[in-house]
Amino acid sequence: LFGVPGGGVNVIERVVKLFQQLDQVNPVTLSLGAVAIVLLVLGARRLPGKPVGLGVVVLSIVAVVVLGLAAQGVVVTGQIPSGLPEIGLPELRLREVEDIFPLAAGILLLAYIEGVSAARSFAEKHGYPLDTRQEFLGLGAANLFAGLGGGYPVAGGLSQSAVAEQAGSRTPLALVVASATLAACLLFLTGLLSNLPKAALAAIVLTAVAGLINIPEMIRLWRVNRVDFAAAMVALVAVLLLGILQGILLAALVSVLMMLVRAARPHVAFLGRIPGTAILGDRTRHPENAEIPGIVVFRPEASVVYVNAEAVEEAVAAHLAARPAGATTLVVCDLSASPHMDVSGTRMLRKLHAALAAQGIRLAVVGARGGRDPGGSGFGLC
């Protein structure tokens, strides 16, 4: 867009490089890009759903040819090889698989995350359901045929999808038309496309992606859930500073750690009778709920598993210790809010049962989920 070499690995280095090269800015290139941005913004407002980007591409090619902008330092795409790719199996030797696999795994992760993220953004924006498995299957099929043609890895890129939407695409048929048009261009129009200025392409991508930056959604996330907002900011900063793949991996790791931290300290509700009803509710959230004489009812509000079983036990022990001696004859564990309990959870219940029995207190369990675990061991509560 500025007509300078640029450089750098992350956003900070790229910004620093840009400022260092401002004295090298090509005014003709920058003017061409600025005019393209203005036309794209005005066209999106006054001609919604129309292929404004295509018109900008045509006008920029005409401007380069008629005004001789290439001779004035405007960088163009240059000669594009004509013809369709040849179909065939890649030449891959067994000893090369070990070197290729880590790179392929990274590409797979990045392609899936970027593709599904873009798909979810547009599904939410236009109000249609999303089948992530179908998206994954589509990416796999596309990469299979791209590999047979010796092409680059294929993914549902955010910028490409945004450009397609800005051009008026609404259904998968747009991809068929785009593919047919691309084939026609490779066969017959490569000579004309050699004069396409890269500044115009930069303007198209910038205006398309700018529409996907949702500041109000980030503000809403801050108000609704600070933990999710923190995870989103980690993802944003990590991608900008470390790159897409490393940033996404770090964000995924931080999200898992946040999930483990939240799971390790679940809320344990101690229940009381809601006035005028036979229903029990959390006394911490609603102090007006009446305590049942001689009975303590607690409800872990999460799956009771190895990361939080001790925390649940400690919360119950602390609550009982705060009560007068002999004031409790029955402790009831309500598992209605715990969809799963592993071996550590049941071990905690057995330990709690033994400790209460030594004090002459009975332990009862209600609301437990029955059934078999996915492994088919038959373990479960009933």
According to DSSP, the residues that pair with 297 across neighbouring strands are 271, 332
- pTM to 2 decimal places: 0.60
Q: Would you tell me how many other CB atoms lie within 10 Å of the CB of residue 37?
A: 20
How far apart CA 335 and CA 366 sit, in angstroms, is: 6
What rounded mean pLDDT belongs to the chain?
Answer: 85
DSSP annotation string for 224-278: H-HHHHHHHHHHHHHHHHH-HHHHHHHHHHHHHHHHHHHHHS--EEEEEEPTTSS
CA 214 → CA 117, 125, 290, distances in Å?
14, 11, 46
Report the Cα–Cα distance between both ends of the chain, in Å, rounded: 66
Rg of the chain over Cα atoms, rounded to whole angstroms, equals: 30
Question: What average pLDDT does the segment 284-303 reach?
Answer: 92
Spatial contact of 78 and 194, defined as CB atoms under 8 Å apart? yes
* Helical (H) or strand (E) element with 292: none
Torsion of Cα atoms, 287 then 288 then 294 then 297, to 10°: -60
- Please determine, for residue 372, whether its predicted confidence score (pLDDT) is greater than 60: no
Three-state SS for 280? strand
How does pLDDT run across 88-130, given as a tens digit for each residue?
887 777 777 777 887 788 788 878 877 887 888 888 888 888 8
How does pLDDT run across 172-228, given as a tens digit for each residue?
788 888 889 888 888 888 888 888 899 999 998 888 788 777 788 889 989 998 888
Q: What is the DSSP letter of 304?
A: B
Q: Which of 123, 121, 150, 119 is nearest to 135 (CA)?
A: 119
Check residue 318 and give left, alpha or beta (phi > 0: left; psi -120 to 50: alpha).
Answer: alpha
